[in-house]
Amino acid sequence: MNIEYWPNNSLSLFLINSGLEFIHIRFLEVWGIRRIDVTYNLIFKRKNLILKENSKIIGWLGIENDGELTNACIEKGYKGIDNLIKLIKKAYEVVNLKYIYAEVPICRNASAIAFLQTGMRLEKPIKLIKLKYLERDIILIRLSIDKEKNIILNSDDINNDLQTISYLNCISKIIKIPEIVIK
**What is the phi/psi pair of residue 74, to 5°?**
-130, 140
**pLDDT at residue 80, rounded to an integer:** 86
**How many folded domains does the chain comprise?**
1
pLDDT at residue 149 in the model: 76
pTM of the model: 0.91
Query: Minimal CA–CA distance to 157: which of 127, 104, 125, 118?
Result: 118
Q: What is the pLDDT of residue 34?
A: 87
Cis amide bond preceding 125, omega within 30: yes
Per-residue pLDDT of the chain (183 residues; tens, 9 = 90+): 899 999 999 999 999 999 999 999 999 998 889 888 899 999 999 999 999 999 999 999 999 999 999 999 999 989 888 999 999 999 999 998 989 999 999 998 889 999 999 999 999 999 999 999 999 999 999 999 987 776 777 889 999 999 999 999 999 989 999 999 987
As a whole number of angstroms, the distance between CA 21 and CA 56 comes to: 13
CATH number at residue 114: 3.40.630.30
Alpha helix locations (H) across 32-107? 40-45, 80-94
pLDDT at 150: 66
Distance from C-alpha of 3 to C-alpha of 49, rounded to nearest angstrom? 6
d(CA 77, CA 101): 26
Q: Which domain holds residue 151?
A: 2-181
Cβ neighbours, 10 Å, residue 105? 18
User: Which pLDDT score is estimated for 153?
Assistant: 74
- pLDDT for 79 equals 87
CA atoms within 13 A on the CB side of 168: 25
> Would you call 141 helix, strand, or coil by DSSP?
strand
